[in-house]
Amino acid sequence: MAERSFKREVQDLRLGAGDTFTGEGILAITKALLESGVGYVGGYQGAPISHLMDVLADAEDLLGELGVRYEANASEAAAAAMLAASVHYPIRGAVTFKGPVGVNVASDALANLASSGVTGGALVIVGEDYGEGSSIMQERSHAFAMKSQFWLMDPRPNLPSIVRAVKQGFDLSEASNTPVMLMVRIRSCHVTGSFECADNVSPPLSVRDALAEPRRDFARVVLPPMSYAHEHDKVENRWPAAEQFIMDNGLNETFGPEDAPVGIVVQGGMFNGVIRALQRLGLADIEGHSAIPIYVLNVTYPLVQDEFLTFSKDKKALLVVEEGQPEFIEQGLATVLNRARSPVRLHGKDVFPMAGEYTGQVMLESVTQFLRNAAPQLLPGHARAPNAPPPEIPDLSKTVPIRPPGFCTGCPERPIFAAMKLVEGELGKHQISGDIGCHLFASLPPFEIGGSTMGYGLGPASNAAFDGGGKKRAVSFIGDGGFWHNGLSSSFGNMVFNRSDSVAIVVDNYYSAATGGQDVLSSRSNNPSKATGHPISKALEGIGVEWVRQIDHTYDVAKMRDTIREALTTDYDGPKVIVASSECMLNRQRREKPQRAAAIADGRRVEAPRFGVDEDICTGDHACIRLSGCPSLSLKTLDDPLRDDPVASIDQTCVGCGNCGEVADAAVLCPSFYRADIVHNPSRWEARKDRWRRRVIGWLQARRARSHLQFGGGV
Under CATH, which number does the domain 253-386 receive?
Answer: 3.40.50.920
| Residue among 267, 308, 271, 270 nearest 288 (CA) | 271
Distance between CA 156 and CA 230 in Å, rounded? Answer: 32
Quick: pLDDT tens for 430-463: 999 999 989 999 998 888 888 788 889 999 999 9
The fourth-level CATH superfamily of domain 19-201+214-248 is Thiamin diphosphate (ThDP)-binding fold, Pyr/PP domains (3.40.50.970)
Q: Which fold has domain 414-587?
A: Rossmann fold (3.40.50)
pLDDT at 555: 93
293 near 348, Cβ under 8 Å?
Answer: no
Q: Do domains 414-587 and 605-702 have the same CATH topology?
A: no
Query: Which pLDDT score is estimated for 712?
Result: 62
Domain assignments of the chain as residue spans, ordered by start: 19-201+214-248, 253-386, 414-587, 605-702
Averaged over successive runs of 10 residues, the pLDDT of the chain (715 residues) comes to: 77 96 95 97 90 92 95 95 96 94 94 96 93 80 95 97 98 98 91 96 94 89 91 95 97 94 97 95 91 97 97 96 95 97 96 92 94 91 66 70 80 93 94 92 88 88 85 94 93 95 96 87 89 95 97 94 97 96 92 92 91 85 80 85 83 85 76 87 92 93 81 57
% of the chain with per-residue pLDDT over 70 = 96
Count CB neighbours of 404 within 10 A.
Answer: 7
β-strand 253-255 against 294-297: which pairing, if any? antiparallel
User: What is the model's pLDDT at position 194?
Assistant: 96
What is the C-alpha end-to-end distance of the chain, expressed in Å?
A: 70
- Within 487-584, residue ranges assigned H as helices are 494-497, 536-542, 557-569
Specify whether the CB–CB gap between 1 and 591 falls below 8 A.
yes
Q: What is the pLDDT of residue 450?
A: 81
Distance CA(207)–CA(93), nearest Å, equals: 10
Whether 17 and 69 have beta carbons less than 8 Å apart is answered as: no
Looking at domain 605-702, does it have CATH number 3.30.420? no
Instruction: Give pLDDT, residue 645.
Output: 81
CA distance 44 to 79: 7
Q: What would the 3-class secondary structure string for 344-393 be?
A: CEEECCCCCCCCCCCCHHHHHHHHHHHHHHHCHHHCCHHHHCCCCCCCCC
What per-residue confidence (pLDDT) applies to 390? Answer: 61
Write the secondary structure of 246-284 as one string of H (helix), E (strand) and C (coil).
HHHCCCCEEECCCCCCEEEEEEHHHHHHHHHHHHHCCCE
Give the strands of the sheet with 294-297, arranged side by side. Answer: 253-255, 294-297, 262-267, 317-321, 345-347
Report which DSSP code applies to 313: T
Q: Which amino acid is at 138?
A: Q
Q: Which helix (H) or strand (E) holds 181?
A: strand 180-185
